[in-house]
Amino acid sequence: MFRSTGAKKRKVVRNFDAKVQRHVDYPHRLNFYLEPPRSEITLENFELWAINRLKVLGEIESSLYRGKKEAEMEAALKPLLEGLLPLNSNNARTLKGSTIDEERKRDHYSHFILRLAFCRSEELRARFVRAETTLFKIRFAQEDVASRLAFIESLNFDWDPVSEEEKRALMDKLMAASGVKTRDEPFFKVPFERVTELVSHRQVYLSRGFAYVPVSAQQTLVFTEFSQRLEKALELTARALPRLDEDDRLVPILNHLSLGFTAPEYTASTTAVGEITAAQVDSLVGHMPMCMRNLHTALRKNKHLKYGGREQYSLFLKGIGLSIEEALIFWRSSFSLITDDKFNKEYRYNIRHKYALEGARKDYKPMSCQTIILGNPPGAGDAHGCPFRHFSIDNLVAGLGSMGIHDQRQLNDIKQLVGAQKYHVACTKVFEYTHPQLGDGGLKESISHPNMYFEQGFEMAKNSAVSQ
């Protein structure tokens, strides 16, 4: 399915990227992903396409956990889908056919790549099925009626149409159970376990193990078919996965992807605050996420931070507007137990390096939540890392208490999210609980970056001060 991209492989890469191969036909925008892709792609595309889809699924999962309504979720996902996972309909007038085919190919491949990453445990499979089914529902709702019907017909579902004779005999019961308003509506008969959602809401008539489903509820049947087939396919993939463990090119990528869904990356900006001075940092701690508060507290307590903490906190401060001159002042004054000579020899170069003034002069960006969560875990004496990922429950509760969160229901909500490894969602909940002015709607998107947390909080405080 993939190739590395050494010099001898350049021709393969150019041919693949230049034109979509026609070994797989994509007549429909919607896809049940019944057939795996079979042509070769580069390792770069293998990882890039998977990561782009993973960002979309991460935001879907975040929205589901935060109880967003379908309309809110679609609105939040629209720019993300357009940028990372576009999938236009056959009626898109501004796109060439080859562009539409390329979109569908990337959609096809990225789905199957993530199957490899998320088939490894029952929990990962369940999360993947839920997010992918939600994505399918969103796309299904956006498709026009004619395209929907054409797609459904192409799947050849084994739904048993209810005969007119049987329908007449059961009509009163069918109408009472399903709520249909006309006797002309066709019905399908399927095993009840295939429409558990309709059964649980008592929206279908049940008889002898079969559910009688009106055609108006057809989409529920489609969604159920999608999720059930995907569940079975993931189980089959899991059985075949050991054969892939011998491939030292694939395994690191799959291991990285399977560590968890992540929300989209956030580009930190200094425009929210402007330039800040070393003397102002203490006054800004109240706007920082727990990870940075913990680092600041440790720095003030110990007059020092170990390497991991310095890396994480210095880049965060750079992102909120601390210039190199002020950064040197801040860190020198914070490391008050050492001499100027020791500071200049052991720390000054590294600080300047982070601002692209030494070494390769690379402009380092503040660390995202994903980078922090997946990075080296803190050891004894360390203060870096993500509190939701690396703290004990007792330390986490203490940290939440220091931020003003004492309500037992709120604490339980956060602990439940942490237990489910939804770390960025837990951090988002903390932001919402500590900013009640947001109201019931909460944040429009989940926290995916410490600087995003800071900038949102600082901006809200600034607007509140102006309005008073």
Q: Is 291 annotated as a binding residue?
A: yes
CA 272 to chain centre: 25
Phi, psi dihedrals of residue 91, rounded to the nearest 5°:
-90, 5
Reduced to 3 states (helix: H, G, I; strand: E, B; else coil), residue 288 is coil
DSSP conformation class of 445: S
Report d(CA 93, CA 157) in Å as an integer: 31
Report d(CA 468, CA 463) in Å as an integer: 9
Joined tokens for residue 341: 């000579």
Residue 27: CB atoms within 10 Å = 10
- Residue corresponding to tokens 């913990």: 294
Joined tokens for residue 394: 């007792």
Residue 457: CB atoms within 10 Å = 19
Joined tokens for residue 21: 């191969």
Cβ(368)–Cβ(357) under 8 Å?
A: no
Q: State which amino acid sits at residue 328.
A: L
Q: Is 119 annotated as a binding residue?
A: no
**Taking the alpha carbons of 346, 352, 354, 360 in that order, is the dihedral positive or negative?**
negative
Joined tokens for residue 148: 């929907």
Phi, psi dihedrals of residue 163, rounded to the nearest 5°:
-65, 160
Cβ(278)–Cβ(329) under 8 Å?
A: yes
Joined tokens for residue 72: 């809110």
Reduced to 3 states (helix: H, G, I; strand: E, B; else coil), residue 347 is helix
160-161/187-191 β-pairing: antiparallel
| Binding region for [4Fe-4S] cluster | 291, 369, 386, 427
| Binding region | 291, 369, 386, 427
